[in-house]
Amino acid sequence: MNLRDVEVFHAVMVSQGASSAAELLGTSQPSVSRALANLERSIGFALFDRVKGRLVATAEGRLFHLEVMRNFIGLDNLRQAAQRIREVGEGTIRVASLAALGMGLVPRAVGRFLQRHPMVHVSLQVRTSSQVRDLVVTGQADIGLAADEIGGTGVHVSVFATPRAICVLPPDHRLAMRRTIQLADLHNERFVALSPEDTVRRSLDRMLAADGIEPRIVADTPFSATVIALVAEGTGLGIANPFALEPGTADRVAILPFEPQLNFRALLLRPPGVSASRLVNEFVSDLYEARNLFRLPSLRR
C-alpha cells in the first residue's frame, strides 16, 4: 500500500470528486484515477462506484476512509510534535549528580535551562558517584556529574570542575578567627571526615600521616553537604567541597581557606558513542555557566 495513493483517496473523499482532488493536490485527473486503481488493487476491494461519471464511495470505501482519517490525525500529531521539538524544545533530559553539585549548582542550571525551555521535563537524581556512573553506563541518564574516585570504564569522561577544598568550623570554635586553617591545626581536634574512599580524604590522610598529625574523627560521610551540616551542629570541624554550601547551613558555619591546598575534582560523564541532542548540549552549557557564576560565600573569621 502506497502512502501517496492513500493521500489521493483521502483528497477525493474530502473534495468529493477526482477533478477537485487533482486541483487540491496539484496533479492531473488521470494521475488521481491511477492512484485510486492502484490502491483498490492493493487492498482488494472497490472504494468507489462510478455512477454517471461521478465517484460514489462504496460502503467499504467509507469504512476505510474512517481508518484513514484516524491515521492521518496521528500523522498530523507527529508533524506538530516535530515542529514543537524543533521550535520550542520538548522532551526529557535525565541528569544524575553527586550530592555536592546536585543540591545547589545543578538546580541553578536547571532553573536557567527551564526558563528557555518550559516544555522540557528534567529528571534529576542525586546519587553517590558510583551510582551516577552506573546510571550513565546503562543509558538511564543523559548526563552525569561524579567525583573522580569512580572509574571511567564505559563512559565518556571530561573534567567539569576542580574546586579548592575549604575548612568549615562551628562559628564559636577557637580556630574560627584564624586567617587560614593549617594541617597542624587539625591535631587532636574533633573532625568530621569524608568517607575513606573519597580522593580528597585519601590525600588528606597521606598528609596527616606524613606529619604525624592525628585528628579525632567523630563521624564520616560520603557527602560534603553532610559534613557541613554536622559541623553546623557543633560536632567538630571538617574539610568540604565549596559547591556543597547552601544558604541554610553556610550561615551557621565559619568558612576558612585550608593549607596545604586540596582540590576536589568533579567529572562530567556521558554515554559513549551517543550523539547528544541539542537540548542536552544546551543544558551542559548551562551547567558550565552555573559553575562559572558560583561565588564562595564570604569567609567568616
Is 10 contained in some domain? yes
Same domain flag for 18 and 58: yes
Is 298 contained in some domain? no
Is 300 contained in some domain? no
Is 65 contained in some domain? yes
Residue written as grid cell 580556630: 175
CB 292 within 8 A of CB 228: no
Same domain flag for 282 and 150: yes
- So what's the pLDDT on residue 287? 97
Same domain flag for 156 and 185: no
Same domain flag for 170 and 245: yes
Same domain flag for 17 and 41: yes
The residue from 62, 87, 112 where one domain ends is 87
CA distance 121 to 88: 13
Q: How many domains are there within the chain?
A: 3
Same domain flag for 154 and 269: yes
The residue from 25, 59, 87 where one domain ends is 87
Is 194 contained in some domain? yes
The residue from 71, 87, 103 where one domain ends is 87
- So what's the pLDDT on residue 164? 94
Same domain flag for 79 and 96: no
The CATH code of the domain that includes 83 is 1.10.10.10
CA distance 22 to 106: 56
The list of the chain residues with pLDDT below 50 reads 88-89, 301
- So what's the pLDDT on residue 188? 96
Provide the 10 A C-beta neighbour count for residue 245: 24
- So what's the pLDDT on residue 84? 54
Is 208 contained in some domain? yes
- So what's the pLDDT on residue 301? 45
Nearest CA among 40, 115, 62 for reference residue 290: 115
- So what's the pLDDT on residue 80? 60
CA distance 101 to 114: 18
- So what's the pLDDT on residue 91? 76
CA distance 240 to 32: 74
The CATH code of the domain that includes 283 is 3.40.190.10
Same domain flag for 37 and 66: yes
Domain coverage including residue 118:
91-162+265-293
